[in-house]
Structure formats: C-alpha cells, structure tokens
Amino acid sequence: MKTKQENGLESSKDKVNVLAEASQLKWSSRQEFIISLLGYSLGLTDIWRVPYLTYRNGGGAFLIPYIFFMLVCGIPLYFLEIMTSQFSGKGTWRVWDFCPLFRGFGIAFLVINWIVAAYTMLHKPWIIEYIIASFSAKLPWTSCDNEWNTPACVQSVQTATNVTFMSPYNYTTGAPMYSSTLGSISAGGNATLLTPMSSVEEFWNYKVLNISSGLDDIGRLNWKYLLYLLACHVIIWLSLVRSIQSIGKMMYVTAIAPVVLTFVIWIRALTLPGATTGMSYFITPDFERLTHSEVWIEAAFMAFYTLGPAWGGLAMYGSHNKFTDNCFRDAVISTVMTVCYGLLNGLVIFSVIGVLSHESNVPINKVITSGGFSLGFVAYPQAITYFPLPQVWAVLFFIVLLLPGLDCQTTLMEPVLCVIEENFPKTIGRRRIPLLTGLTIFTFICGIPLATQAGVYMFQLIDWYTATWSVLLIAVTESFLFAWIYGGDRLSRDALLMLGRPLPAFVRIATAFVMPVILTFLVLVSIFKYKPPTYGTYQYPEYARSVGWCFSMASIVPIFVYMAILVKNEKGSLRKRFAVLLKPAADWGPSEDSVKPAYNRLERNYQRSFKRLVKFNLTGRGGFENVRRDYDSNVSEMDSIG
C-alpha cells in the first residue's frame, strides 16, 4: 500500500516526465527556427497597417520612430524572451518560474492570443471572397451594374472626386456617371443628392461585408463565410496537430511565399507610371510630424504588434531550441528580415498608391480616404485594375494576404495550447489532439457572430481595445522583471553559461533603463489621449465601449488575480511571501544537465545589493565574477552537446 507521500512523489515525477517529453521536441534546423520566427512576426495586419500608419503620419516620418522602437525596445525584449525559454527549456507558462509572482502572465498571454486568434479569423473569409471574385472574366469591383450596387455608384476614383453640384439644375459631372449620383429631380426643381461611392468600395461594403447599420442591427448570418471559417480552422488544426514539427514545415510556405509574391508585384508596379512618385512619398519624411505624440504612440504599438514580444509566443518558440543555439544571432537576423520585409511591403504599397494617384489625377496624400484594414480591401483592389491582366495580379495579391494570415493564426493558437499543456501536464499534456480539437471547435463557435452583417463592427471594436495598452503594460513589466527583479547580472550569467558570452551591453542598458522609461511614458500619454472607436462615420454606443474595455482588461486582471492566489497560498509574513515569490522557483535553471552544477554553485553563493545591480546594469561589471571560469571549465562538455 503506497503512502500519500509516495503517491505525491510519483505524481510529481509523472508531471516532470510529461514536461520533459514536451521540451524534447526541437526544431529540425536553425533555418526552420528563423523562418518560423519570421512567420511569427509577419502577420496579415502588418501588410496594411504599417503602410497605412506611414501614409497617415507623414510618410517616412513614421518610419523613424517605428524603426527606433523596433531596435531599442523590440529587439532586447524579443531576445530575452527567447533566451530565458531556451535556457530553461520552459514554454509560455513555466518560463515565469524565474519570478513566480508573475506566473499570471501565462494566463494573460493565453487570453490575448486566443481573443486575437478568434476575431482576426474573420479576415480569411473576406480574402477568400476576393480570391474567388478574381477569377471572373471581369473583376466585379470595376463596374456598377452588379446586384449589390446602389444608384450612388461610380466606376473610378477620378469620377467620384470630380462630381460637383452647383444648383438643382446646373451641375457638372464626369460622364457618364451623373445619373448614378443624382437620385431624383422633382417637378419643382428639388434634387435628391447621393454621396458618390466608388464601385470598389461598394463591392467591399455591400458584397463582401454586406454591412448593416450598426451593432444594434446584427442582420443575417452569412453561411458561405461560415464555411470559409470552418475550412480555415481545419487548416490551422492540421498545422498545429504535431506542434513545432508541423508548424516549421508550414512556415516554409506561408512565410516565404508572401515575400516572393510581394517582390514580384513590386517589380511589376515599377514599370507603371507614378510608381516612383509613390515610393518617394514613402521614404521622404515630414519632420514636423515627429513633434506629434500620436506618431510615436502608434509607432510603439506597431513595433510590438509586428515583432511580437510581450505576446508569449517567443517563449514557446525558444523552449524548443537546442541549449547552445545562438539565439541572439537568430533574433537579430529575424528582426532585420522583418524590418526589411516591412520596408519592401511599404515600397510595394506606395508604388501602387503612386500608380493610383497618376491614373486618377489625385494627389498622393488624398488617394486613400479609407483607413485601417479597409485599405487592403478598397485601395489595393482599385489599383490592381490598372495592371494588365488584373485578374492574375488580384489572385497573387490576395494570396499574399491569405498566407501570412494563416501562419499568424497558427502562431497565435500554439501559445494557447502551450499554456494549457504546461499547466496541466499530467491530464492534458499527452492529449494534444483532443485539446486542439476542443479549442478549435470553441474558437469556431465564438467566431460565428463575426459572420453576420454586423461582424465588421464587432471586429473593429475588439481590435481597438485588445492587444494595445495591455501589451505595452506587459512589456514594461517584463523589462522591469528581467533587469531589476531577476536581474541583469543573472541574465548575463545565464547567457554566458549557455552562449559563451555575457548579455550584450545594448540589451542590458535598453532593458534596464530605456524601455521602462519610454514605454511607461507612452502608455500614460496614450491613455490620456484615448479616443473611442469609430467605423467610418459610425459611432459606437456607450455599452459597446464598456464591452471593449472588458476585452482590454481581460488579459490584465488574471495577472493580479493569480498573484493574489499565490500570495495567499504562501506561508509566513506578507513581506516573506513576496520575497519568496520574487525569487526563482526551486526547479528554475538550465535545461542542460552539464551546466547545472556550475549554475547551482553560482546561485547558492549569489548575493545582491541594489547599488551593485545598478552598477552592473550600467557598466556590466560587478556581477558574477567567476562565471567565465565556470564556463571555461565546462566548455568541452558543452561543445559535445551541439
């Protein structure tokens, strides 16, 4: 008969064994890891959001703070998330064992990733609708004789912008569209004036979205979109069924193909008149715009949205690295590739906008009137109509949109699975397929309301409040935990034991001093300058804004709830409880057995004062003086690992 203690020990061993099995899954090659990081960073929204923010914020002026935040705030946190998970072999949930008080971050990452995965899935039916329409003999968004068109429809941007009405009887209009924009004229001379709308915008609003009047008018369910959603969920399920073993293979297609197709579209656009003018607008900064705080706030949000630190996915990716992989080099390569693709994508988009400006005879800064994600579904399809064989280019363009969208969904769902599997390793850890199936069905059901006529209003509301302030707040807290709670000295020791080199000075200083100050300031300013969401001219009702704030807080509240539970369950005085929970957990340490003796010896003798930590974070001196000796004594063993 086994005692409770023996049963407890067996249960603990089973848990460790399951977690060990999960951590033994490694990337098949360094290239696969880098490509997967690239796929993680390149999402669908980056294709339209970065160019639109650049367009709206003075052209090249936006690129200055955007690249600044990518380099100064993005890379350090990006590297540290990968490094700590690679060092410990722990994923999105258990990596926070280095500071157990903040294990709630794992729940926050689960919530953020799942919400974003659920609502951004709506992109895919829209894109599929465009792809199917692109196989028509005549692109349906180029004419006004379709069943969804209204009397206000006009066939080109130029015609729409030139329509003017001087009096009930005297008017000028770009032929042959005047009858479409003049609703009716009564015998008394009274005219009903309709605001002109381009055929491409009507296709987007009345065919693709079939948009209702607002959230209070939910309309009917689009069964076709529901089937598209189901098909996309099945593809994501297949991509996740074998974790990184299937993700890595998928990324070779979904991450590389969009880059190749984007480059092909750019080469074609360069042959058209107006392309160079558009690219010039993209790279020429309006320095006066840099004095506007909104430019810096949006650049910071976009930098974190693009690279993906403070989302939890990087910890999942890093935990599957080999212990001695040079993750700093991989992080830099991936970041540079992401920035380069962003610049290439911007050149493509602005060359297309330049073509559109030339063809419609409208200044570049007035070509795009629709904002946000509408940019990708209104302006670009219009510009494609100026290409020879527009059907071919339309199919290519929307495939470029679809593939990053699919790999983005994959990288959002995997951290959710990782948190659940690490939190319940014995009961769920070996049952990935049932867990994945249940999560997929649940996500699909929750996404059904988005397939209604009011779906776009729900999409905009959730997008406005989710993964904005919460991500920056988590990023600020992470930088503080890394540099001041766990400590820059410990991080440097871990880097040396793992990589053979201490923490780079740039990463150390940026994490300890630059990020906490800049990001805290930006969070405060962005909250102070908060504006409620809108969709075009539609104003969201008060209850919708309250729901939006619930989405925003859904990822923050669990951090404090879990923190309170941990403090309550700990023994001793309140001060002692916090002291214990702010120290690394007993099972925190290197995943490589040959390094554990050196690590344990250094950690046992670890002594810290605030003054010493400040000195180390500033200068890199005064930390673990004997780490190099311990590393050198183990170097032969570590060489045999790789």
Binding residue positions: 39, 407
Strand ranges (DSSP E) for 161-234?
A: 164-165, 171-172, 182-185, 191-193, 197-198
Is 332 in contact with 108 (CB distance < 8 Å)?
no
DSSP three-state, residue 539: strand
Helix 574-581 × helix 557-569 angle, to 10°: 120
Query: Which residues are annotated binding-site positions for Na(+)?
Result: 39, 407
DSSP three-state, residue 192: strand
Output the CA–CA distances (angstroms, integers) from residue 488 to 320, 493, 500, 612, in the order listed: 24, 9, 16, 11
User: In this structure, what token pair is assigned to residue 297?
Assistant: 């706030």
Is 591 in contact with 87 (CB distance < 8 Å)?
yes
Rounded to 5 degrees, φ, ψ at 28 are: -70, -20
User: The dihedral of CA 481, 484, 485, 489: what is its sign?
Assistant: positive
Closest CA to 450 of 261, 239, 218, 612: 218
| Alpha carbon distance 359, 362 (integer Å) | 8
Is 185 in contact with 414 (CB distance < 8 Å)?
no
Is 452 in contact with 220 (CB distance < 8 Å)?
yes
Q: Which residues of 307-332 are buried (b: 16+ CB within 10 A; e: fewer)?
A: bbbbbbbbbbbbbbbebbbbbbebbb
| Alpha carbon distance 413, 70 (integer Å) | 24
DSSP annotation of 531 reads -
User: The dihedral of CA 509, 515, 518, 524: what is its sign?
Assistant: negative
Task: Find the largest Cα–Cα distance for the chain.
Answer: 101
User: In this structure, what token pair is assigned to residue 625?
Assistant: 């003086």
Is 547 in contact with 460 (CB distance < 8 Å)?
no
Output the CA–CA distances (angstroms, integers) from residue 160 to 153, 157, 177, 209, 358, in the order listed: 9, 5, 9, 21, 15
- DSSP3 helix / strand / coil % (the chain, rounded to 5): 70, 5, 25
What does the DSSP assignment read for 126-165? HHHHHHHHTTSSS-GGG-S-STT--TTEESSHHHHHH-EE
| Alpha carbon distance 640, 642 (integer Å) | 6
Closest CA to 399 of 253, 261, 204, 207: 261
Angle subtended at Cα 411 by Cα 259 and Cα 97, rounded to the nearest 5 degrees: 135
Q: How far apart are the first and last CA of the chain?
A: 45
Closest CA to 297 of 463, 72, 529: 529
What is the CB-side half-sphere exposure of residue 2 using CA atoms within 13 A? 8
